[in-house]
Amino acid sequence: MLVGAIAHDVGHPGTNNAFLVNTAAKLAITYNDRSPLEHMHASVCFETLLAPGNNFLEGLKEEDFKNLRSKVIENILATDMNHHFDLADKFNSRVEHVTEAPFIKGTSSGRAAQLQAKEDRSLLMQAFTHMADLGHCCRPWKVHQVLVSVLEEEFFWQGDQEKALGLPVSPMMDRCKDSAAAGQGFFLDKLVRPLLDPFCSFLSQNLSRTFQENLASNKERWAELVKTHGKLATKDLLSLESAAGGFPLRQTALSS
């Protein structure tokens, strides 16, 4: 999970999978339009790991390394947002049935139990990795606001390229009219929360409450900003609020 988390966005070009597919980019051609970014991240991960002097796992037995490699790849592929709802639904359904089918159980009863345990471990690792990828949504406002702002600038950069190529501008990526801040209510409530709620089943009550309260607070703050200043770019909203003596703005992080 740690190796997958470290490598899950390595080599990211700043455009999403849809852009790569629509422009017939080399990555899309290489990976047949199927999660081209995530496949590339996994590939770069192991190319880097297996380079001379880099393989800190060289002491593993061959079978153990193959097992680890397959799980790292699975975890990285699970961060593709195209699979978000399927993963969230599957994870939530499994957690709902944990009373009659616990995650931690013996596998000596037979092959069926072994396969179920393996599937459970795979699902848990994928859900935890994907939740970590969305984790800034549950972090304090001073962290979350910065990451949304820089993510929006990445979106706008892709939109600029789409305009230059004569392509339709993707949703949330037109710097002339879109605002990531205005879309946070839907994103936090309809995408992040359905994964966070079952994820919290594995956390202490204090940590679970902190994550859920941060998510709710961040959603409210974005709504308040948009209500006060209108549907503006996130960076502009945060600058206006800072100038008005509201939420503190981390200029260094935003300017990067």
What's residue 198's pLDDT? 97
The CA distance from 137 to 232, in Å, is 20
The CA distance from 160 to 180, in Å, is 16
- φ, ψ of residue 204 to 5 degrees: the values are -65, 160
Count Cβ atoms below 10 Å from residue 130 Cβ, excluding itself. 24
Residue type, 60: L
Residue 46 C-beta-side C-alpha neighbours within 13 Å: 14
Q: Quick one: CA dihedral 27, 32, 35, 39, positive or negative? A: negative
| 252 pLDDT more than 90 | no
What's residue 1's pLDDT? 94
Residue 253 pLDDT level (bands cut at 50, 70, 90): very low
What's residue 255's pLDDT? 37
What's residue 247's pLDDT? 56
For residue 4, give the nearest of 127, 147, 146 by alpha carbon.
Answer: 127
The CA distance from 9 to 155, in Å, is 16
With beta carbons less than 8 A apart as the criterion, state whether 145 and 247 touch: yes
Q: What is the pLDDT of residues 105-142, one digit of tens each?
A: 777 677 887 888 899 999 999 999 999 999 999 999 99
The CA distance from 43 to 28, in Å, is 14
The reported pTM is: 0.90
3-state SS record for 167-230: CCCCCCCCCCCCCHHHHHHHHHHHHHHHHHHHHHHHCCHHHHHHHHHHHHHHHHHHHHHHHHHC
What's residue 246's pLDDT? 63
Question: C-alpha distances in angstroms, 64 versus 69, 241, 246?
Answer: 9, 53, 53
Residue with tokens 């690792």: 125
Residue type, 27: L
With beta carbons less than 8 A apart as the criterion, state whether 71 and 94 touch: no
Q: What is the pLDDT of residues 33-51, one digit of tens each?
A: 999 999 999 999 999 999 9
Q: What is the pLDDT of residues 58-69, one digit of tens each?
A: 999 999 999 999
| Residue, of 109 and 102, whose pLDDT is higher | 102
- Burial (Cβ within 10 Å: 0-12, 13-18, ≥19) of residue 131: buried
With beta carbons less than 8 A apart as the criterion, state whether 146 and 234 touch: no
The CA distance from 65 to 59, in Å, is 9
What's residue 126's pLDDT? 97
Percent of the chain exceeding pLDDT 70 equals: 95
pLDDT averaged over every residue in the chain: 93
What domains lie within the chain, and their CATH numbers?
Answer: 2-133 (1.10.1300.10), 137-255 (1.10.1300.10)
Q: Which of these ranges, 13-27, 104-118, 211-225, has the smallest mean pLDDT? A: 104-118
Query: How do the residues of the chain divide into helix, strand and coil, expressed in percent and rounded to 5?
Result: 70, 0, 30
